[in-house]
Amino acid sequence: MVNTKVNLCGIELDNPVIPASGTFGFGYEFSELYDINILGTFSFKGTTRDPRFGNPTPRIAECPNGMINAVGLQNPGVEKVLSEELPKMKKVFHKPVMANVSGFSVEDYVYTVERLEEEDQIGWYEVNISCPNVHGGGMAFGTSPEAAATVTKAVREVTKKPLIIKLSPNVTDIVSIAKACESEGADGISLINTLLGMRIDLKTKKPVIANKMGGFSGAAIFPVAVRMVYQVSHAVNIPVVGMGGVSSASDVIEMMLAGATAVEVGAYNLIEPYGCKKIIEELPAVMEKYGIKSLEGLKID
């Protein structure tokens, strides 16, 4: 009998599988397909202080082994998330949930977290300082240790809940940024967000999305994600949540061998709505295949 439980920043999960923010909404749509309480948890749709329509369309395009998107953090804003989205979510998901928070200034991040503090079901904050698809804010905070540390310190001061900082791969030195977040009180690091990518339609001679460039995700980025999770997990003393191209139980194990405590599944949810369910169901057999009795302490040297 294998043990799939893991502990993420002091909260026990039945398994390490977490649908990534932006690919699972607020959960209730997926609850019509299967019981989402089988998940470890999930990271709900990126929430900002004010409502956002997002970027102009087209803003999602498929490409080999992945996709490019520039949705631009479309969301109803924190007030409607509190009054409308989370009450609906509570009816179908009965575990602690991860709140993904984005902003365009330090004050935005602080305000949104302060408003969400009243929500008991929120177990962790995943503070996104790594979105490549918005102008101003977003990724700008995640591209230097100093800026990342500033956001981390400010949010740390307004919550006692576990604080996980989501980092961008679009940097030269991911380790220094992760260590700066740790030094200012981060309880965990999640990575990677999407790589910055672009495709051009040969027929129209125009970029495939209106934003020209967007976040590239999917199976093609998995090796990059494994590398960065390995680097960061061996440089910090806080948990790492790994993500980027995960699409199977074997990928989950590989990500955990690299040093991840838990693993988020992103683009695969958009390809296969039952993706996380399948991964969770397959995980015990994959563990047995490779002689793994427990997921705790898998990290290689």
pLDDT tens-digit series, residues 62-102: 998 999 999 988 999 999 999 999 999 999 999 999 999 99
Tokens of 50: 């004010």
Which pLDDT belongs to residue 142?
A: 82
Question: Which helix H or strand E contains 189, and what residues bound it?
Answer: strand 188-191
Domain limits, the chain: 6-289
Are the C-beta atoms of residues 133 and 211 closer than 8 Å to each other?
yes
Convert the pLDDT of each residue in 212-265 to its tens digit. 999 999 999 999 999 999 999 999 999 999 999 999 999 999 999 999 999 999
Task: Kindly give, in sequence order, each residue whose CB lies less than 8 Å from that of residue 298, ignoring residues fewer than 6 positions away.
Answer: 253, 256, 257, 292
Q: What is the DSSP letter of 99?
A: E
- SS3 assignment for 216-234: EECHHHHHHHHHHHHHHHC
Which of 268, 258, 202 is closest to 67 using CA atoms? 268
Which of 106, 48, 34, 44 is closest to 76 using CA atoms? 48
Q: Report phi then psi at 124, rounded to 5.
A: -140, 155
Which of 268, 221, 220, 199 is closest to 61 using CA atoms? 199
Query: What percent of the chain has a predicted confidence (pLDDT) above 90?
Result: 91
Are the C-beta atoms of residues 155 and 113 closer than 8 Å to each other?
yes
Q: What are the beta bridge partners of residue 201?
A: 206
Q: What is the mean pLDDT of residues 189-215?
A: 96
**Average pLDDT of the residues of the chain:** 95
CATH topology of domain 6-289: TIM Barrel (3.20.20)
Q: What is the mean pLDDT of residues 34-62?
A: 95
Which of 50, 42, 186 is closest to 111 using CA atoms? 50
To the query of whether residue 131 is one of the catalytic residues in this protein, the response is: yes
Whether pLDDT at 133 is above 80: no
Instruction: Return the SS3 of 240.
Output: strand
Q: Active site residue: 9, 131, 181, 276, which one?
A: 131
